[in-house]
Amino acid sequence: MKDMWQDLIYINSGSIATGEATISEIGTKVFNKIIDIASGKEQACAEKYELHNDLCIFNPALIT
């Protein structure tokens, strides 16, 4: 999926399953990405492509 959606998936955590990376390594990458985006150093793809969803705390739709 990372290869198909390079612009929407930041970090390939599948490398843990293949043995190419450890949980600690991927966790560090995730942490650093969060810090970079939160600090404004990088822009999130959702912001760049204007993919916004409204936050819905209560969904009045029927549950099926």
Task: Return d(Cα 57, Cα 48) in angstroms, integer.
Answer: 25
Residues 39, 33 contacting (CB under 8 angstroms): no
Weakly modelled stretches of the chain, pLDDT under 70? 2, 7-8, 54-64
Residue bearing tokens 């998936």: 9
pLDDT at 48: 83
| Phi/psi at 57 (5° precision) | -75, -40
Percent of the chain at pLDDT > 70 equals: 73
SS (H, E, C) 2-39: CCCCCCCCCCCCHHHHCCCCCHHHHHHHHHHHHHHHHC
pLDDT at 32: 96
